[in-house]
Structure 1
Protein backbone atom coordinates (compact mmCIF):
# COMPACT_ATOMS: atom_id res chain seq x y z
CA UNK A 1 0.00 0.00 0.00
CA UNK A 2 1.48 3.44 -0.93
CA UNK A 3 2.44 5.74 1.91
CA UNK A 4 0.13 8.73 2.22
CA UNK A 5 0.97 12.19 3.52
CA UNK A 6 -0.92 13.21 6.63
CA UNK A 7 -4.04 15.11 5.59
CA UNK A 8 -3.26 17.95 8.02
CA UNK A 9 -0.09 19.08 6.23
CA UNK A 10 -1.81 19.20 2.83
CA UNK A 11 -4.74 21.15 4.25
CA UNK A 12 -2.39 23.69 5.85
CA UNK A 13 -0.52 24.27 2.58
CA UNK A 14 -3.76 24.77 0.67
CA UNK A 15 -5.10 27.00 3.46
CA UNK A 16 -1.97 29.15 3.40
CA UNK A 17 -2.11 29.50 -0.40
CA UNK A 18 -5.79 30.41 -0.20
CA UNK A 19 -5.11 32.98 2.51
CA UNK A 20 -2.40 34.62 0.38
CA UNK A 21 -4.70 34.81 -2.65
CA UNK A 22 -7.45 36.20 -0.46
CA UNK A 23 -5.12 38.89 0.90
CA UNK A 24 -4.14 40.06 -2.58
CA UNK A 25 -7.73 40.04 -3.80
CA UNK A 26 -8.79 41.80 -0.58
CA UNK A 27 -6.38 44.64 -1.23
CA UNK A 28 -7.90 45.16 -4.65
CA UNK A 29 -11.41 45.06 -3.20
CA UNK A 30 -10.58 47.89 -0.80
CA UNK A 31 -8.87 49.92 -3.49
CA UNK A 32 -12.12 51.56 -4.72
CA UNK A 33 -12.85 52.64 -1.15
CA UNK A 34 -9.51 54.36 -0.92
CA UNK A 35 -9.93 56.13 -4.23
CA UNK A 36 -13.68 56.75 -4.28
CA UNK A 37 -13.31 60.35 -3.22
CA UNK A 38 -11.20 61.29 -6.24
CA UNK A 39 -13.95 63.63 -7.39
CA UNK A 40 -14.13 64.65 -11.00
CA UNK A 41 -10.53 64.22 -12.06
CA UNK A 42 -9.82 63.46 -15.67
CA UNK A 43 -9.58 59.68 -15.59
CA UNK A 44 -8.78 59.46 -19.27
CA UNK A 45 -5.10 60.24 -18.83
CA UNK A 46 -2.17 59.07 -16.81
CA UNK A 47 0.18 61.75 -15.61
CA UNK A 48 3.23 61.96 -13.43
CA UNK A 49 4.74 64.71 -11.36
CA UNK A 50 8.30 64.07 -10.32
CA UNK A 51 9.22 65.49 -6.97
CA UNK A 52 12.40 66.95 -5.72
CA UNK A 53 14.15 65.23 -2.84
CA UNK A 54 11.92 64.89 0.21
CA UNK A 55 12.35 67.29 3.12
CA UNK A 56 14.08 64.60 5.20
CA UNK A 57 16.69 64.15 2.46
CA UNK A 58 16.03 60.42 2.14
CA UNK A 59 13.51 58.38 0.24
CA UNK A 60 11.31 56.30 2.50
CA UNK A 61 12.21 52.62 2.55
CA UNK A 62 9.57 50.12 1.52
CA UNK A 63 8.26 49.45 5.03
CA UNK A 64 4.70 50.33 6.02
CA UNK A 65 5.58 51.35 9.59
CA UNK A 66 8.37 53.72 8.53
CA UNK A 67 6.30 55.39 5.82
CA UNK A 68 3.39 55.72 8.26
CA UNK A 69 5.65 57.37 10.83
CA UNK A 70 6.92 59.85 8.25
CA UNK A 71 3.32 60.77 7.38
CA UNK A 72 2.31 61.19 11.02
CA UNK A 73 0.39 58.05 11.84
CA UNK A 74 0.74 54.57 13.25
CA UNK A 75 -0.51 52.12 10.62
CA UNK A 76 -2.77 49.22 11.40
CA UNK A 77 -1.58 46.32 9.24
CA UNK A 78 -4.49 44.93 7.22
CA UNK A 79 -2.76 42.65 4.74
CA UNK A 80 0.38 40.62 5.28
CA UNK A 81 1.22 38.54 2.19
CA UNK A 82 4.29 37.53 0.21
CA UNK A 83 3.37 39.95 -2.58
CA UNK A 84 2.51 43.00 -0.46
CA UNK A 85 1.92 44.49 2.98
CA UNK A 86 -0.80 47.06 3.50
CA UNK A 87 -1.50 49.30 6.44
CA UNK A 88 -4.37 51.66 7.14
CA UNK A 89 -3.65 55.08 8.61
CA UNK A 90 -6.45 56.89 10.40
CA UNK A 91 -5.84 60.58 11.16
CA UNK A 92 -8.00 63.63 11.84
CA UNK A 93 -7.43 64.79 8.26
CA UNK A 94 -8.18 61.52 6.44
CA UNK A 95 -7.83 57.78 6.22
CA UNK A 96 -5.28 56.45 3.75
CA UNK A 97 -3.54 53.25 2.75
CA UNK A 98 0.16 52.49 2.56
CA UNK A 99 1.07 49.47 0.47
CA UNK A 100 4.60 48.10 0.21
CA UNK A 101 6.03 45.43 -2.05
CA UNK A 102 9.07 43.16 -1.76
CA UNK A 103 9.89 43.70 -5.46
CA UNK A 104 9.10 46.33 -8.09
CA UNK A 105 7.30 43.77 -10.25
CA UNK A 106 4.62 43.37 -7.58
CA UNK A 107 4.15 47.14 -7.42
CA UNK A 108 3.76 47.33 -11.21
CA UNK A 109 1.16 44.54 -11.12
CA UNK A 110 -0.73 46.32 -8.33
CA UNK A 111 -0.68 49.61 -10.25
CA UNK A 112 -1.90 47.86 -13.41
CA UNK A 113 -4.82 46.45 -11.41
CA UNK A 114 -5.49 49.81 -9.76
CA UNK A 115 -5.66 51.55 -13.14
CA UNK A 116 -9.05 49.91 -13.68
CA UNK A 117 -10.39 52.02 -10.80
CA UNK A 118 -8.49 55.19 -11.63
CA UNK A 119 -7.42 57.58 -8.93
CA UNK A 120 -4.34 59.45 -7.83
CA UNK A 121 -1.48 57.81 -5.93
CA UNK A 122 1.92 58.67 -4.52
CA UNK A 123 4.30 56.06 -5.90
CA UNK A 124 7.82 55.37 -4.70
CA UNK A 125 10.35 52.61 -4.90
CA UNK A 126 8.38 49.50 -3.86
CA UNK A 127 5.57 51.48 -2.16
CA UNK A 128 2.31 53.26 -2.93
CA UNK A 129 0.25 55.65 -0.81
CA UNK A 130 -3.48 55.79 -1.61
CA UNK A 131 -4.93 59.04 -0.26
CA UNK A 132 -7.04 62.04 -1.15
CA UNK A 133 -5.18 64.00 -3.85
CA UNK A 134 -4.93 67.05 -1.54
CA UNK A 135 -2.76 65.07 0.90
CA UNK A 136 -0.42 63.57 -1.65
CA UNK A 137 1.54 66.79 -2.20
CA UNK A 138 2.39 67.08 1.50
CA UNK A 139 3.27 63.39 1.66
CA UNK A 140 5.52 63.77 -1.40
CA UNK A 141 7.52 66.47 0.44
CA UNK A 142 8.16 63.98 3.26
CA UNK A 143 8.54 60.75 1.30
CA UNK A 144 9.64 61.68 -2.21
CA UNK A 145 8.08 59.65 -4.96
CA UNK A 146 5.88 60.54 -7.91
CA UNK A 147 2.23 61.54 -7.94
CA UNK A 148 0.49 59.42 -10.58
CA UNK A 149 -3.04 59.77 -11.83
CA UNK A 150 -4.25 56.48 -13.28
CA UNK A 151 -6.97 56.26 -15.87
CA UNK A 152 -10.09 54.41 -14.88
CA UNK A 153 -12.58 52.43 -16.87
CA UNK A 154 -16.26 53.20 -17.08
CA UNK A 155 -18.23 56.42 -16.79
CA UNK A 156 -16.81 59.48 -15.07
CA UNK A 157 -18.80 62.03 -13.09
CA UNK A 158 -21.29 63.79 -15.28
CA UNK A 159 -21.36 60.96 -17.85
Structure 2
Protein backbone atom coordinates (compact mmCIF):
# COMPACT_ATOMS: atom_id res chain seq x y z
CA UNK A 1 0.00 0.00 0.00
CA UNK A 2 1.43 3.38 -0.96
CA UNK A 3 2.06 6.08 1.63
CA UNK A 4 -0.73 8.21 0.16
CA UNK A 5 -3.19 5.31 0.34
CA UNK A 6 -2.15 4.61 3.91
CA UNK A 7 -2.74 8.26 4.83
CA UNK A 8 -6.15 8.22 3.15
CA UNK A 9 -7.13 4.99 4.93
CA UNK A 10 -5.97 6.31 8.30
CA UNK A 11 -7.76 9.60 7.66
CA UNK A 12 -10.98 7.81 6.72
CA UNK A 13 -10.84 5.62 9.82
CA UNK A 14 -10.09 8.65 11.98
CA UNK A 15 -13.04 10.55 10.51
CA UNK A 16 -15.46 7.74 11.25
CA UNK A 17 -13.99 7.24 14.74
CA UNK A 18 -14.23 10.97 15.49
CA UNK A 19 -17.78 11.04 14.24
CA UNK A 20 -18.74 8.05 16.40
CA UNK A 21 -17.28 9.76 19.46
CA UNK A 22 -19.05 13.03 18.67
CA UNK A 23 -22.48 11.64 17.89
CA UNK A 24 -22.65 8.39 19.78
CA UNK A 25 -24.55 5.58 18.20
CA UNK A 26 -28.01 6.73 19.14
CA UNK A 27 -30.70 6.11 16.62
CA UNK A 28 -33.35 8.67 15.91
CA UNK A 29 -35.24 7.38 12.94
CA UNK A 30 -36.60 10.90 12.52
CA UNK A 31 -38.39 10.03 9.33
CA UNK A 32 -39.76 13.32 8.16
CA UNK A 33 -43.18 13.36 6.65
CA UNK A 34 -44.22 15.52 3.78
CA UNK A 35 -43.47 15.76 0.12
CA UNK A 36 -40.15 15.50 -1.60
CA UNK A 37 -38.19 18.73 -1.87
CA UNK A 38 -36.27 19.49 -5.01
CA UNK A 39 -32.57 19.02 -4.35
CA UNK A 40 -30.23 21.91 -5.01
CA UNK A 41 -27.42 21.68 -7.52
CA UNK A 42 -24.48 19.89 -5.91
CA UNK A 43 -22.22 22.31 -4.05
CA UNK A 44 -18.65 22.88 -5.17
CA UNK A 45 -15.71 24.77 -3.79
CA UNK A 46 -13.34 24.77 -0.86
CA UNK A 47 -14.01 23.12 2.47
CA UNK A 48 -14.69 26.54 3.96
CA UNK A 49 -17.13 27.45 1.20
CA UNK A 50 -19.08 24.19 1.54
CA UNK A 51 -19.13 24.54 5.33
CA UNK A 52 -20.46 28.11 5.03
CA UNK A 53 -23.32 26.83 2.85
CA UNK A 54 -24.66 24.99 5.92
CA UNK A 55 -23.69 27.55 8.55
CA UNK A 56 -20.71 25.64 9.90
CA UNK A 57 -17.44 27.08 11.14
CA UNK A 58 -15.11 24.11 10.46
CA UNK A 59 -12.78 22.79 13.16
CA UNK A 60 -9.86 21.66 10.97
CA UNK A 61 -8.45 18.22 11.78
CA UNK A 62 -6.36 17.56 8.67
CA UNK A 63 -4.96 20.15 6.27
CA UNK A 64 -2.82 18.33 3.71
CA UNK A 65 -2.27 18.58 -0.04
CA UNK A 66 -4.44 15.53 -0.77
CA UNK A 67 -7.19 15.92 1.84
CA UNK A 68 -8.62 18.62 4.08
CA UNK A 69 -10.88 17.41 6.84
CA UNK A 70 -12.85 19.23 9.55
CA UNK A 71 -15.47 18.57 12.17
CA UNK A 72 -18.56 20.71 11.78
CA UNK A 73 -21.29 21.42 14.31
CA UNK A 74 -24.53 22.98 13.25
CA UNK A 75 -27.79 23.87 14.92
CA UNK A 76 -30.14 25.96 12.85
CA UNK A 77 -33.63 24.52 12.70
CA UNK A 78 -33.24 22.46 9.52
CA UNK A 79 -30.94 20.07 11.29
CA UNK A 80 -28.97 19.79 14.45
CA UNK A 81 -25.89 17.69 14.11
CA UNK A 82 -22.21 17.11 13.99
CA UNK A 83 -20.53 15.81 10.93
CA UNK A 84 -17.16 15.40 9.30
CA UNK A 85 -16.56 17.36 6.12
CA UNK A 86 -13.67 16.37 3.87
CA UNK A 87 -12.45 17.77 0.57
CA UNK A 88 -10.02 16.05 -1.77
CA UNK A 89 -7.46 17.11 -4.34
CA UNK A 90 -8.52 14.36 -6.77
CA UNK A 91 -11.56 12.24 -7.59
CA UNK A 92 -9.44 9.13 -7.14
CA UNK A 93 -8.34 10.22 -3.67
CA UNK A 94 -11.96 10.81 -2.74
CA UNK A 95 -13.02 7.37 -3.97
CA UNK A 96 -10.16 5.63 -2.13
CA UNK A 97 -11.06 7.48 1.08
CA UNK A 98 -14.72 6.54 0.70
CA UNK A 99 -13.94 2.90 0.00
CA UNK A 100 -11.88 2.71 3.19
CA UNK A 101 -14.30 4.71 5.33
CA UNK A 102 -17.40 2.79 4.31
CA UNK A 103 -15.97 -0.36 5.93
CA UNK A 104 -16.63 1.41 9.26
CA UNK A 105 -20.31 2.08 8.55
CA UNK A 106 -21.86 5.52 8.59
CA UNK A 107 -23.79 7.70 6.19
CA UNK A 108 -22.10 9.72 3.47
CA UNK A 109 -23.17 12.66 1.37
CA UNK A 110 -20.94 12.74 -1.69
CA UNK A 111 -20.27 15.68 -3.98
CA UNK A 112 -17.50 16.40 -6.48
CA UNK A 113 -14.27 16.12 -4.45
CA UNK A 114 -16.06 16.43 -1.08
CA UNK A 115 -17.79 14.16 1.42
CA UNK A 116 -19.88 14.84 4.53
CA UNK A 117 -20.15 12.01 7.07
CA UNK A 118 -22.69 11.91 9.87
CA UNK A 119 -25.81 10.36 11.29
CA UNK A 120 -28.43 9.53 8.72
CA UNK A 121 -30.75 12.40 9.73
CA UNK A 122 -27.89 14.93 9.60
CA UNK A 123 -26.61 13.76 6.22
CA UNK A 124 -30.14 13.74 4.82
CA UNK A 125 -30.66 17.33 5.98
CA UNK A 126 -27.29 18.40 4.57
CA UNK A 127 -28.37 17.01 1.21
CA UNK A 128 -31.25 19.49 1.20
CA UNK A 129 -28.68 22.31 1.23
CA UNK A 130 -25.67 20.84 -0.58
CA UNK A 131 -27.18 18.42 -3.09
CA UNK A 132 -25.00 15.40 -3.75
CA UNK A 133 -25.70 11.70 -3.51
CA UNK A 134 -26.25 9.57 -0.42
CA UNK A 135 -24.12 6.51 0.21
CA UNK A 136 -24.27 4.14 3.15
CA UNK A 137 -21.37 2.35 4.79
CA UNK A 138 -21.20 -1.31 5.68
CA UNK A 139 -24.63 -2.37 6.97
CA UNK A 140 -23.19 -4.57 9.70
CA UNK A 141 -21.46 -1.50 11.19
CA UNK A 142 -24.56 0.77 11.08
CA UNK A 143 -26.47 -1.25 13.64
CA UNK A 144 -29.73 -0.92 11.77
CA UNK A 145 -29.75 2.89 11.97
- Larger CA Rg, structure 1 vs 2: 1
Does 81-90 or 22-31 show the bigger shift? 22-31
Distance 1:86 1:107, change over 3 A: same
SS at match of 1:91: strand
CA distance in 1 between counterparts of 2:114 and 2:89 reads: 9
What TM-score, normalized to structure 2?
0.71
SS at match of 2:137: strand
Does the aligned pair in 2 maintain the 1:27–1:79 contact within 8 Å? no
1:37 aligns with 2:25: yes
Q: What is the Cα deviation at residue 26 of structure 1?
A: 4.4
CA distance in 2 between counterparts of 1:81 and 1:24 reads: 14
1:85 aligns with 2:68: yes
CA distance in 2 between counterparts of 1:114 and 1:108 reads: 10
Aligned residues: 126
Q: What is the Cα deviation at residue 117 of structure 1?
A: 0.4
CA distance in 1 between counterparts of 2:62 and 2:46 reads: 13
Q: What is the Cα deviation at residue 24 of structure 1?
A: 6.3
CA distance in 2 between counterparts of 1:142 and 1:95 reads: 15
Does 23-32 or 80-89 show the bigger shift? 23-32
Equivalent of 1:102 in 89, 92, 96: 89
What TM-score, normalized to structure 1?
0.66
Does the aligned pair in 2 maintain the 1:124–1:145 contact within 8 Å? yes
What are structure 1's unaligned runs of at least 5 residues? 1-17, 42-50
Root-mean-square deviation (Å): 2.9
Q: What is the Cα deviation at residue 22 of structure 1?
A: 6.1
1:9-57 residue CA offsets vs partner (Å, 9 max, x unmatched):
xxxxxxxxx9xx668624522313315537499xxxxxxxxx9541xxx
CA distance in 2 between counterparts of 1:88 and 1:145 reads: 19
